[in-house]
Structure 1
């Protein structure tokens, strides 16, 4: 299936070796003089690398007195090496970061103050609502995003027409969701592709409960009654309502999305980064998209994305901030929007993203995005969130097969990681 490249995507391919710059070594921000700033970011393909090079060229033009060096690595290697570089005080002065990974790396990044943002030329009002929450943790800002994303409900319009199932639409409820899933379930395909990935399985429970499984201060809250009830309902889509198929293995991390994209499920939940990929799918079915359904208190979604922060030990913070600002400038944001690679965080650039899409999809994508981003909240995570996610994910197989309850899984995770 064709997929859009977004900075938050978990893709991998060969790229350059990741090294850093800080106060500590020969690759420091001051290496070769105080005018050298290294930018580290992941790149999953040659196209990703070329896009980053174009953005760095924009920053270089805006800062002719500086020497800006880009260094990239595939997603997995990037974070492995970032862990090493952070421990050794050898982070790049300008380092890329993803919202879902931030909590593990806050110690390596400088907290950005209003004065820092001003030095970078960042005017927060020029960025979309919720954008500055993307790279914030416990109320502190560690970076500024260049793109943003949230979760959507994707549906197979041909399948819904064939079964007479109601079509998801803006303002639909969880009762509507159940009605569509049940009507679309046949002996040939499921009404819904159940999620295994962290964002994919949590999206509907968060929307239904109106709360996240972590409090804003980073306190783990997996046993919040509203979240437990909503998560239990989610698991019962397989075991009780039987509108989704159980997962055979914990290694099937993209189970629901793959079921949908292959025409084996009528609906699935996935990120906005795959919008065009699903619309222009290889099987050739007519795809549609809608915001997440609304619970009793509306529909709560998470705002996700990636951007850049400044290393805590950067020698030349002022120069690094100027580079960061240039990487997030109007010209740079217009570039990524016009390329259709990802949805920019800067408001003025967002229309260019929709203009870059094929005409037959443009209005549908814009309407779905506008609705989905209207009620978003930055993701709250604990300092050990990646360990929690790693623990819960394989347990979902037992939940979906009726061998374990969602409540017990959440209670065990709360007990083990909530201290």
Structure 2
């Protein structure tokens, strides 16, 4: 998964000496004068940091009585340091969080109440339908989102045209998907490229089964019959239907996305965060995108994204909530939307995102996004969800090579991590 885009300004560089502290003891984010609020977020480049700073500037303008300090770190370093800071009571008052990572960090965040949202000048109704699920865990709200994403099927329109296959459209079915994949498997190219990342390989099984591999209350259900059957079908795209190639190595984490980008496969699953880059692909083929296929009219997709929460050790919660409100205000959300960096979670800012896209792609992106986000569900995870993914991902190589049944991998993971 390309975290750089999924998590808005996502991932990677700022400086090894950076320390993420700010909400307890002498390094309290309230500061010695109780007027300083530290905001911790990941950033992957100078441009990422610049974009974050622009949003911090909005917060400073809206809260002239407060001093607001931004601290960043690369994606992996961010969560390593967050673990340390959480254990030592040193979390920044306003801390960034990603939907897929939340389950491992809920103990460090305060549950947000209706009164908290009021203090922040926010309400759940400010955000697009389903987006407040992004930073919920087992029904509790631990933060509010700044961006939102879901999974799509990207396709090579040139390859499909050569195969005499119709372009995928909103409302297409799994029967349509299979027919398209089979027709496009020709001339040394594949109709589909299977995924290795959690979101990439799970998306179609979830859409086909209509259930997630975990329940809303955080119980693992990898062996749920509907999900297991759908996951087995997915592996069968390689082993049975022969419309996708096996993966060479567990290190090929972006296998499906790379096969598609390089013109070796007609279709692949990836997130909305890569929509524009795929449409403008360097390989030069005509690209398109569609929501995930469905069984009949229904197609279940996860809603993903990132946002901010308030640490439990924050000494000036009201000040932190005001900063949180500013970072998710219309002005901040309008900035990220109009820059085209991310699809904002705030409903009134979303039209600006489409306006930022080249006119030749705009209509397709808007149509597909609206269809894809029409039936989304917050991601359900277990407390040890990251361990599940770490175990399953390398096993997919043997599954795709026909050496191990998908059902056996799911059963083994369920036995190890389902307690």
Change (3 A) 1:10 1:20: same
| Counterpart for residue 20 of structure 2 | 19
> Which has the larger displacement, 155-164 or 5-14?
5-14
Match in the other structure for 1:387: 387
Shift of 1:296: 4.5
Show the counterpart of 1:215.
215
The two structures, once aligned, show a CA RMSD in angstroms of: 1.4
Does the 8 Å contact 2:103/2:384 carry over to 1? yes
**Aligned-partner Cα distance in 1 for 2:11–2:253:** 14
Q: Structure 1 stretches of 5 or more lacking a match? A: none
Return the alpha-carbon distance in structure 2 between the equivalents of residues 194 and 298 of structure 1. Answer: 22
Task: Please give the residue correspondences for 1:306-385 in structure 2 after superposition, counting only pairs within 5 Å.
Answer: 306-385=306-385
1:297 Cα shift?
Answer: 6.5
Structure 1 residues 279 and 3: alpha-carbon distance in aligned structure 2, compared to 1, 3 A threshold = farther
User: Partner residue of 1:54?
Assistant: 54
Structure 1 segment 8-407 matched on structure 2, within 5 A: 11-15=11-15, 17-24=18-25, 26-296=26-296, 298-407=298-407
TM value normalised by structure 2: 0.98
Equivalent in the alignment of 2:416: 416
Contact preservation (8 Å) 2:171, 2:297: no
**Structure 2 alignment gaps of length 5 or more:** none
3-state secondary structure, aligned to 1:33 = coil
Partners of 1:301 and 1:88 in 2: CA distance: 37
Does the C-alpha gap of structure 1 residues 222 and 9 become closer, same or farther in structure 2, counting only changes over 3 Å? farther
Measured in 1, the distance between the counterparts of 2:34 and 2:10 equals 34
Q: Report how many aligned residue pairs link the two structures.
A: 417
**Helix, strand or coil at the partner of 1:307:** strand
CA contact (8 A) 1:210 1:297 kept: no
CA distance in 2: counterparts of 1:30 and 1:341, whole angstroms? 30
Partners in 1 of 2:312 and 2:280 — Cα distance?
42
Give the superposition deviation at 1:7: 2.4
8 Å CA contact 1:20, 1:93 repeated in 2: no
Q: Deviations over 1:45-81 (max 9, x none)?
A: 1111000000000001000110000000010100000
Residues 310-338 of structure 1 deviation map (CA, whole Å, 9 limit, x = unaligned): 00110000100000000000000000000
Contact kept? 2:154, 2:267, Cα under 8 Å:
yes
Scaled by the length of structure 1, what TM-score is found?
Answer: 0.98
Deviation (angstroms), 1:187 = 3.8
Give 1:33 deviation, angstroms.
1.1
Partner of 1:71: helix, strand, or coil?
A: strand
State whether residues 144 and 309 of structure 2, in contact with CA within 8 Å, keep that contact through their aligned partners in structure 1: yes
